Structure 1
């Protein structure tokens, strides 16, 4: 039997118990047990210092994996850990052996709540998107009834509003299906997420453009936008690209893995474009109201 050498520890800890990792309670800044602390029988040399929870001595949970002899690879035994307390938990892989510097760990962790695989922070979103899908469905039915009733008085603007409602309905349905699938299977198919993200970006773009052209008087005092059509279309295209990029990174990746500068690079363009929309909408609305006030309609 080969001698056990390097030790790698997988430590599962609740967020409020992170202070129990390390030697702070032993008046030491060390994370790993030292020979001096070992003599005091406070820990064992080569292991991470963990202060057990008095109410639950098995927590924080420690799972140890050793290397055999001079082998440069080892396999961690599959473990199932039951968590009986509601909270936010972290999984850390830690080692104290300096010879393991540069260690590479590959694997997969699966976390499941009693109601499914959705993380605690995401679980309420499935209910939200389900409710919003029904709300959009009701809104769509009411709008369709009114659309048919007033068919002879329909303006081009009403078709655009119909498109926004339809996009919102599809967006909420895709997001609900994406979250429901994630909750039941534990995986997020890229195709479903990509469609949901795209519908979100398109709806946000179209709704902002619709609000902008209405504030300019389109469909009310102007039959067309005239020479500013290209500028409005360009702003909409740029906003769609920026919004799509941000949504893709947030939902297909983990934005917490990016630096502050990278995150700012993704968020800042969308924020600037939103501010541009707001300024343009209010300035256009002000000019449209002035035109309506100046124009006098005399009854005959």
Structure 2
């Protein structure tokens, strides 16, 4: 009953998030009643940021940013005077050409009284100057509200991009009386190869290659599965499920990016399916590793009384991951928007840490019991599995440190062309661990050799000794002329029995 309530609450939360994100489109940046926000001495509406590649021999198409029907509206209460609003588009390397300061003071975007006295600008105007590295940039255009006008419209135009870089668009004004003005309309951002934002563009190829990798792994696994279907153990059915989920996830991600690249509008339905299949796969993968670590299907038939705890942990991880991935991916507009808030990332990180602790604690117990019972074949496979997990955890920790270093030293997204590698690494690592599991537990004619057999009594007390003590001889047995020989024979028989267990 509690589990049903949990899933009902989870479904409602996910539904609300989808409703919130459903109207958001991607490389076509939509502005729907966007309000200006105070930043220093200016008022700003963020128009988007994307990495854009310059046309090349490999991708000869056009790169541009197009303004379409961008309209500004102001309340009637502020219509008794004229005002001006600017749209400023710049490459991240030219960010220092915007704003200025007098006598080394605080940097301001709008011209201050001190700067006006120096004669470098007119008080209340936007401060900008031409880039020495990129002639003609930043691109600045403006639109004015005349007296009694409530609406002003930017001229529709396309700005060609001839230099590869991270481009940013802001709508800015310096008039406090226009704080309640709103922006509506859209801009279209295009790379030579399509509408995918520059940081995402390499991921389309990556997911294409990952789809091929899963197909190859699937062919290997399903051929072995079909050849030895009579010897299949429950653990191998779980592995089959993870491979199938992985194939669907990679295919959905590839088609999601391909459609996005073609139309400029991210297909929400496709993205939700890709996110959901990925989240289910990650959840099942973690539960699979946990169950293997506990010995499920190999040295014990069930998980016993902890089944409900494992299920609840998996359900909680699924909910936290699904919400995080929906916020990160569904409706992503620009290359700067893929940063979920801390309160969404933290639960997933804590649950991952709990999974790792539980997995290695269970592995330790399983290895000790296998060694105590001299189950050498199973012990060997579990040792290899443990080594693979240790390597994966070390790589994960190292990569997390690198990721933190990368983000700390890339506050302006200047290294956007390499950012896709962070996402790709986790997919490759997950695939590598799955491949190791497939190799260790590949279906074969000897699969049942690694399966649980009813005579193993794995859950008995670990204090049992390997060699049974000889019984205390009775008074009648003292007359036996060969007591030592019989005792030795009994011990040897018991030892052989343990070795073949």
Give the drift of 1:42.
Answer: 3.5
Give the drift of 1:71.
Answer: 0.8
Match for 1:117 among 192, 195, 208?
195
Give the drift of 1:37.
Answer: 5.3
Aligned to 1:58: 136
Matched, 1:298 2:375: no
Report the Cα distance in structure 1 between the residues aligned to 2:267 and 2:240, rounded to whole angstroms: 29
Aligned to 1:132: 210
3-state SS in 1 of match to 2:110: coil
Give the drift of 1:10.
Answer: 0.2
Aligned to 2:82: 5
Matched, 1:141 2:342: no
Report the Cα distance in structure 2 between the residues aligned to 1:35 and 1:212, rounded to whole angstroms: 66
Aligned to 2:173: 95
Aligned to 2:91: 14
Match for 1:23 among 100, 109, 126?
100
3-state SS in 2 of match to 1:107: strand
Matched, 1:245 2:446: no
Matched, 1:226 2:427: no
Quick check: 2:102–2:115 contact (8 Å CA) kept in 1?
no
Aligned to 1:215: 293
Name the structure where strand makes up a greater proportion of residues.
Answer: 2
Aligned to 1:107: 185
Report the Cα distance in structure 2 between the residues aligned to 1:276 and 1:55, rounded to whole angstroms: 50
Quick check: 1:4–1:66 contact (8 Å CA) kept in 2?
no
Report the Cα distance in structure 1 between the residues aligned to 2:113 and 2:284, rounded to whole angstroms: 66
3-state SS in 1 of match to 2:211: helix
TM-score using structure 2 length: 0.55
Report the Cα distance in structure 2 between the residues aligned to 1:192 and 1:271, rounded to whole angstroms: 26
Give the drift of 1:36.
Answer: 7.1
Superposition CA RMSD, Å: 2.5
Aligned to 1:183: 261
3-state SS in 2 of match to 1:187: coil
Deviates more, 1:18-27 or 1:47-56: 18-27
Aligned length: 296
Quick check: 2:101–2:115 contact (8 Å CA) kept in 1?
no
Give the drift of 1:257.
Answer: 6.7
Aligned to 1:173: 251
Report the Cα distance in structure 2 between the residues aligned to 1:133 and 1:24, rounded to whole angstroms: 53
Report the Cα distance in structure 2 between the residues aligned to 1:183 and 1:149, rounded to whole angstroms: 41
Q: 1:291 to 1:30 in 2, by over 3 A?
A: closer
Report the Cα distance in structure 2 between the residues aligned to 1:137 and 1:25, rounded to whole angstroms: 62
Compare relative contact order (CA 8 Å, sep 6+) and give the higher one, 1 or 2.
2
Superposed CA deviations along residues 207-246 of structure 1, whole A, max 9, x for unmatched, are: 0000000110111110111111111111111111111111
TM-score using structure 1 length: 0.91
Residue segments in structure 2 that go unaligned for 5+ positions in a row: 1-79, 375-497
Report the Cα distance in structure 2 between the residues aligned to 1:36 and 1:277, rounded to whole angstroms: 59
Quick check: which has more Rg, 1 or 2?
2
Alignment of 1:77-92 (within 5 A): 77-92=155-170
Residue segments in structure 1 that go unaligned for 5+ positions in a row: none
